[in-house]
Amino acid sequence: MKLYSTNNKDLRVSFQEAVFNSMPQDKGLYMPLEIPQLEQDFIDHIEHYSLPEIAYTIASTLLKDEIPAGDLKVLIEDAVNFNAPVVKLDEETFVLELFHGPSLAFKDFGARFMSRVMAYFLKDDEQLLDVLVATSGDTGGAVALGFLGVANTRVTILFPKGKVSEVQRLQLTTNGKNIRAIAVDGTFDDCQTLVKQAFADNELNAKFRLTSANSINIARLIPQTFYYFNAYAQLKRKGFKDVVFAVPSGNFGNIGAGLLAYKMGLPVHQFIAATNANDTVPRFLESGVYETKPSVQTYANAMDVGAPSNWVRIMDLFKEDRSAIQGLVKAYRFTDEQTLAGIKEIFEKFNYVACPHTAIAYLATKAYAEENPNDESAKVFLSTAHVCKFPEVFPDDILAKIELPAQVETLKNNPELFDELGKEFEGFKKYLLSK
């Protein structure tokens, strides 16, 4: 697999280089030079395959020249060792639960695959790998667990102070070992900017071997295609041929992976991008003007992103043609008030508790179904995080239904350790250089 930069189509790097560089020097993002199609026979019979089998088929189609088949199989079976069930709510409405991994969010797919790929490529005698990651809530926890104890790596997680939930914060700050966390006095976008500035800084690059575990890293995106194919397999078993996916979106990595899956041959009738008030992409699809804005805080905190880093990848996938994207991707945005009403509606209608991010995808599914009453496709909204991560959002009667998974109970007994910094790059740089 060769990759180019969205800012330089002539650049060529291997997958291994792209994973460790995470971002090209020209500040674009890496994209695969060729997007291979999965064999039609595999797609036609996908309902006969398990999630690890599907994941292996996709990964080997993309990475066969980079990781030998036997090693890749072992890596996939270790990384993707939890389920992603499609749960039926009514005749045409389904929820794809992506929170059954160790950190209780869909990020486990990307983070576990990426940490194992890096560990596979890393040699013991190489310089320590410094993994930087900005999080608005969930990525940090998944990356921390994915890399905890991985030899020759050190992870630095930047999170916006006071803007992540308690469970999310505990997941970031109670690990110790090779994981350290920094509360930044700013927003997620500030954290993301600090990480990008670090990659562009000569002094830091001379001293450290820096890489990113954010979805700017191509190794995060590839494994997120697995669950789209796997959801399609489950729906085929239920007799559906056409699928609509509604994706709660912030940095647009998740829907970007869905669109990559589509380009690899996954038959999808429609994608729906669902956002909170941070609506840079819905505004762009409507107006053609791409204008990032400082992020605002919402109940769906992990989607509080004003400058979605993966949008350039999606534009690149569709050759910068907004109308081609508009044909395949509908976008909707919802306020906090609507999100709360959505949570209550899902509970009352289906006796199902959905997190605020998931509720936004549900509302978008509903809006799409109302606008397209003749579309008989299975409507699948992605549930991206376990409800226990956001207890402060739920009314008491719904809160009472939420069971705490064992790993969350344990977290509460562990001491928290984190440093605090402002959002200025100089302070962050000084911090890194002093350690």
Ligand X SMILES: N[C@@H](CCOP(=O)(O)O)C(=O)O
Q: Is 238 a catalytic residue?
A: no
Applying CB under 6 A, among 101, 137, 258, 356 the residue interacting with ligand X is: 137
How far apart are CB 194 and ligand PLP at their closest, in Å?
A: 18
Which of 105, 121, 379, 65 has its CA nearest to residue 235? 379
231-250: contacts with ligand X (CB under 6 A): 250
- Residues 6+ positions from 181 with CB-CB distance below 8 Å: 140, 144, 156, 157, 158, 159, 172, 173, 417, 418, 419
* Residue 58 CB neighbour total at 10 angstroms: 25
Closer residue to ligand X, CB minimum distance, 38 or 144: 144
214 binds ligand X (CB under 6 A): yes
The C-alpha atoms of residue 134 and residue 415 are separated, in whole angstroms, by 22
Assign 286 to helix, strand or coil. helix
122-161: contacts with ligand PLP (CB under 6 A): 137-139
Applying CB under 6 A, among 385, 388, 393, 421 the residue interacting with ligand PLP is: 385
Helices (H) and strands (E) in the chain, counts: 20, 14
Quote the crossing angle between the two packed helices 69-79 and 51-63, to the nearest 10°.
Answer: 140
Assign 32 to helix, strand or coil. strand
Closer residue to ligand PLP, CB minimum distance, 6 or 168: 168
Site string for ligand PLP, 99-118 (x = CB under 6 A): ------x-------------
The C-alpha atoms of residue 236 and residue 146 are separated, in whole angstroms, by 32
The C-alpha atoms of residue 210 and residue 105 are separated, in whole angstroms, by 25
Closer residue to ligand PLP, CB minimum distance, 156 or 310: 310
384 binds ligand PLP (CB under 6 A): yes
- Residues 6+ positions from 394 with CB-CB distance below 8 Å: 343, 353, 387, 402
Closer residue to ligand X, CB minimum distance, 139 or 153: 139
Closer residue to ligand PLP, CB minimum distance, 208 or 284: 284
> Residue count at the site for ligand X (CB under 6 A)?
12
- Are 115 and 150 within 8 A, CB to CB? yes
Residue 278 binds: one of ligand PLP, ligand X, none (C-beta under 5 to 8 A by kind): none
How far apart are CB 250 and ligand PLP at their closest, in Å?
A: 4
Applying CB under 6 A, among 5, 6, 103, 135 the residue interacting with ligand X is: 135
156 binds ligand X (CB under 6 A): no
* Catalytic choice (9, 107, 236, 423): 107
Closer residue to ligand X, CB minimum distance, 56 or 159: 159
302 binds ligand PLP (CB under 6 A): yes
Alpha helices in 123-214 (DSSP H): 139-147, 166-173, 188-200, 202-207
Residue 385 binds: one of ligand PLP, ligand X, none (C-beta under 5 to 8 A by kind): ligand PLP
How far apart are CB 235 and ligand X at their closest, in Å?
A: 26
251-280: contacts with ligand PLP (CB under 6 A): 251-254
Residue 258 binds: one of ligand X, ligand PLP, none (C-beta under 5 to 8 A by kind): none
Residue 178 binds: one of ligand PLP, ligand X, none (C-beta under 5 to 8 A by kind): none
Applying CB under 6 A, among 5, 57, 178, 251 the residue interacting with ligand X is: 251
Q: Phi, psi (5° rounding) for residue 155?
A: -110, 130
Whole-Å CA distances, 428 to 26, 58, 305, 388: 22, 38, 21, 32
DSSP label at 209?
A: E
Which residues form the interface with ligand X (CB under 6 A)?
135-140, 214-215, 250-251, 253, 302
Residues annotated catalytic, as ranges: 107
